[in-house]
Structure 1
Amino acid sequence: MTFFDALVEDNKQAWKQYTEHAFVEQMAAGTLPIQAFKYYLVQDYLFLIEFARAYALAIYKSPNMALMRKSLDSVQTILNVEMGLHVQYCQSWGLSEQEMQAAVQAPQTLAYTRYVLDAGMRGDIFDLKVALAPCVIGYGEIARRLAQVPNALDSENPYAPWIKEYSGEDYLRLMEEAKTELNELAQAYLTNARRPQIMEHFGNATRLEADFWQMGLERG
């Protein structure tokens, strides 16, 4: 069992509620209300900005140059690549970058992003990466499963591009790299005394991810 598997096993119910939430199930079926998805996209844009800050914090928290460079790569990818792709995708849904920048963060967005940053500020690189894991790894796990749902990738499904993006080879490679990094950090940092807090970080972040889906669903 990998360390990530242990995290999921210890938070099985929360992980199921997040990865099998009605929001993503309706995406696969193509039945999610359009307004719910558009609201999610705007909040996800705001989330990515805070996500970049979290990886910038990871640079500061990194104990060696190798980890610093990994986190720097993540910051650059989010700001210089992923944000641009997200903006292009949102424009296809009739959302401008100016509109998204002017949007107010929902309470669920604030709660999740502040929790991750607080975990990193109070703790070390291990605390931070565990708090980030439900997003980084979860999206790949969710999309890979949704891609197997009959008709989920059909052109008639407006959410097929999202599923294809996160179930694609590039993202799944990043997901596996994140799992490997977690295993390495666990070997270096995990002790019996720390285990309950680490498991709690993962569980809290996972529940906050589920709240993020619920936020979108309720706006639909």
Structure 2
Amino acid sequence: MSFTEMLRRENNDIFEAVFNHPFVEGIGKGDVPHDSIAHYIKADYEYLNAFMHIYGVGISKSTNRKDIEYFNEQVGFVLNSETHPHQNFCDVIGVGYDELQGYPLPPTADHYVKHMMYHAQLGGLGEILAAMLPCPWTYLEIGQHLMKKYQPGPDDTFYPWIKFYADEEFDTLSHAMRNRLDEVADEASEAERQRMKDAFRKSCQLEWKFWEMAYICEEWPQWKGVNSK
């Protein structure tokens, strides 16, 4: 069993929880509250911007051109391709994509970004990959799960979103990251492998929290200070 196969098995509980989250189920059923969709796009736009910065840290820690090329390709994918599922959501709620950009990250998304950046700055290549992998991997399996369970067609509300993440191109992206993590893990010490496992599980947990954050429209608590008017 490979390192990433072990990670998937050990975190199946969280993957199943993600599949059963009401936001995710709502995508399959074609029924998600519009406020939740807008909240998701606002957070995910900034989250993906941070994701590209973390890929940049990966480039800075790469010791060969193969890894530099990989991270560079992933930045290009986020910039040029991952706007398409966002656009599907925007079309459904009738709001322009530009209108949902530039918002501060809600608490969960803020924590998720800082969790990944922590491992990127203090860890090696393995920790970077382990912290980032749950994002593409859970989305791939969400797309595949919804495609199988609901068998949506082109006329269904969220068909473009589901098809994008269930598609072979996204499957290839996820497998490339898994394969590279397996290679790094094979050369890592037991302590390094444990840090990778911890980073991976926390990111899986934060994937579930991200859906919950969007669904409930999570915001930062607000209090008026004594000098506030």
Common topology (TM > 0.5): yes
**Is the contact made by 2:85 and 2:161 (CA closer than 8 Å) also made in structure 1?**
no
| Letter of the 2:158 counterpart | Y
Report what 1:82 is aligned to: 81
Distance 2:64 2:31 in 1: 47
Distance 1:150 1:209 in 2: 22
Distance 1:219 1:110 in 2: 14
Q: Which moved more, 1:162-171 or 1:178-187?
A: 178-187
Q: How does 1:105-124 map to 2 (within 5 A)?
A: 105-124=105-124
1:26 aligned counterpart, secondary structure:
helix
Report what 1:140 is aligned to: 140
TM-score normalised per structure 2:
0.85
**Is the contact made by 1:129 and 1:182 (CA closer than 8 Å) also made in structure 2?**
yes
Q: How does 1:201-212 map to 2 (within 5 A)?
A: 201-212=199-210
| Letter of the 2:213 counterpart | M
Distance 2:83 2:195 in 1: 36
Using CA pairs below 8 Å that are at least 6 residues apart, which structure has the higher relative contact order?
1
Q: Identity of aligned pairs, percent?
A: 25
**Is the contact made by 1:11 and 1:199 (CA closer than 8 Å) also made in structure 2?**
no
Report what 1:173 is aligned to: 172
Distance 1:35 1:27 in 2: 14
Change (3 A) 1:150 1:101: closer
Change (3 A) 1:24 1:83: closer
Question: Structure 2: any 5+ residue segments left out of the alignment?
Answer: 219-229
Deviation for aligned residue 1:86: 5.5
| Letter of the 2:203 counterpart | A
Distance 1:34 1:157 in 2: 16
Question: In the alignment, is residue 59 of structure 1 matched against residue 59 of structure 2?
Answer: yes
Distance 2:7 2:182 in 1: 11
**Is the contact made by 2:52 and 2:75 (CA closer than 8 Å) also made in structure 1?**
yes
Change (3 A) 1:202 1:87: closer
1:69 aligned counterpart, secondary structure:
helix
Distance 1:131 1:88 in 2: 26
**Is the contact made by 2:84 and 2:161 (CA closer than 8 Å) also made in structure 1?**
no
2:148 aligned counterpart, secondary structure:
coil
Deviation for aligned residue 1:155: 4.2
Distance 1:84 1:208 in 2: 21
Q: Which moved more, 1:132-141 or 1:23-32?
A: 23-32
Give the root-mean-square deviation of aligned CA atoms: 2.1
Distance 2:148 2:201 in 1: 26
**Is the contact made by 1:45 and 1:86 (CA closer than 8 Å) also made in structure 2?**
no
| Letter of the 2:184 counterpart | L
Change (3 A) 1:125 1:19: farther
Higher Cα Rg, which structure? 2
Question: Structure 1: any 5+ residue segments left out of the alignment?
Answer: none
Distance 2:170 2:213 in 1: 24
Q: How many residues align?
A: 217
**Is the contact made by 1:35 and 1:219 (CA closer than 8 Å) also made in structure 2?**
yes
